[in-house]
Amino acid sequence: MNFIEFLGNILSKELEISTYAARGLIKLSIKDEFGPFFPLDKITYKLIRKVIKNSLFFRMKRLEVFRFEEIRNYLLDELVKNQSLITFESI
Amino acid sequence: MELGILSMLFIILTLYLIYIVLQMVVGIYLFIRMRKTKLNNILPLSLFFIISSIQGIMSLFNLPVIIFQASLFIPSILLLIFTKLTFFRDQKTPFIFFLVIMLILKIITFLVSLFIIPLSTPMTAKFSKDYVLYYYLYLLIICINLSIPELWLGYSALNYYKQVKLLNIEPWIKKRYLIISYSAIILFIEAIAYLFLPWSSEGFRHPQALVVIFIVTTVTVVFSIGSIIGWMMPKKLKIHFNKGFTPIRDEILDEAELLKKIKSELSKGG
């Protein structure tokens, strides 16, 4: 969960919304991608990358977020830089 | 054999057995966690511990040097793969360069052991002084092949710790980075110690070899304890590290309410 919170903080700054709303947006995107029963503590690097590339991207697009492509790319960069956090919090 | 040497050997053997058990425990634990979390990048780390432990058991028996030689650097390569998969996926890194260097060095020592002189640490076979250069080259190769993955993991974990130490992340996770980095860096002492093994066929009866092997064993036990604490951190220790940290508790909203909140905040801000 730390990683989703971490990513939520980045997204909240980019979208200028609360961290709660940003985390919510990420969780909704995970739900879109893997269904409502997907356990958040089972997220892996590949899965979260898929979420950012697909469902989060389309959610931002649907919400008419300004610079949604740029934000997606920024999130992907941050994911690459901070990927070890997923392992270090899950073991 | 002198009593002093015998008691030293007893201490080394005890430490070595502790090391074998600890490595196996961490390896199996990580394997189970890998299956549960589906984090496949943990597999090389799990195998690193398990194979190191099996090698430890193998070295207790008088197996042919060549069998030991064939498996010698497998754990180091697994540690290198773990670091790449955990810290640097989709990033440009010196991984391939490190891997090629390690494999070339491995092939050299394997061929030398097979065709020229059966190398071991410490040396037990009797050979003329003409081969002394091969021996020290072998020690240097051991040192390089151990140092590369240990320092890469240690540096990567320490570097990331420095980046996140002020962020709002559970403190026990930050401590895990610190423990893993320090235990990997400490292991570098082991690599350096090998360089001081004497050219002597006396094996463990040579006082200098005994001291070096004692240092190597002690360092590997410290590394194993660090790995146990780092990777298998007990709940009580996590709670202790998390003292003063308030975890985020999200209020539960249904999807429609959450979307309404997101839209309303977006219209104000973004």
The answer to whether residues B238 and B172 touch, using CB atoms and an 8 Å cutoff, is yes
**A-interface mutation test, from B248, B251, B254, most A Cβ less than 10 A away:** B248
User: Which residue range(s) make up the domain with A60?
Assistant: 2-90
User: Interface pTM (ipTM) of the complex?
Assistant: 0.91
pLDDT digits (tens, 9 = 90+) for A15-68: 999 999 999 999 999 999 999 889 988 899 999 999 999 999 999 999 988 899
pLDDT digits (tens, 9 = 90+) for B181-235: 999 999 999 999 999 998 877 777 788 889 999 999 999 999 999 999 999 999 9
Please name the helix (run of DSSP H) or strand (run of DSSP E) that holds residue A76, with its range, or none. Answer: helix A68-81
User: Is a pLDDT exceeding 80 seen at residue B126?
Assistant: no
- Percent of chain B's residues with pLDDT above 90: 60
Inter-chain contact A83–B168, Cβ cutoff 8 Å? no
* Distance from chain centroid for Cα B148: 11
Confidence tier at B111 by pLDDT (50, 70, 90): confident
- Cα–Cα distance, A52 to B106 (Å, whole number): 41
Number of domains in chain A: 1
Inter-chain contact A65–B173, Cβ cutoff 8 Å? no
**Burial of B267 by CB count in 10 Å (0-12 exposed, 13-18 middle, 19+ buried)?**
exposed
Lowest mean pLDDT among A25-29, B52-56, B57-61, B145-149: B57-61
Confidence tier at B73 by pLDDT (50, 70, 90): confident
Which residue among B176, B265, B270 places its CB closest to the CB of A66? B270
Cα–Cα separations (whole angstroms), residue B70 to B65, B74, B110, B113, B118: 9, 8, 7, 10, 12
Inter-chain contact B164–A85, Cβ cutoff 8 Å? yes
What are the chain A neighbours of B270 within 8 Å (beta carbons)? 14-17, 65-66
In the DSSP assignment, the letter for residue B131 is: G
Mean pLDDT score of chain B: 90
Mean pLDDT of B51-69: 82
Per-residue model confidence (pLDDT) at position B1: 63
Give B 19-78 residues with CB within 8 A of chain A: 30, 33, 37-42
Per-residue model confidence (pLDDT) at position B3: 81
- Cα–Cα distance, B89 to B230 (Å, whole number): 22
**B-interface mutation test, from A23, A44, A86, A91, most B Cβ less than 10 A away:** A91
Mean pLDDT of B225-251: 91
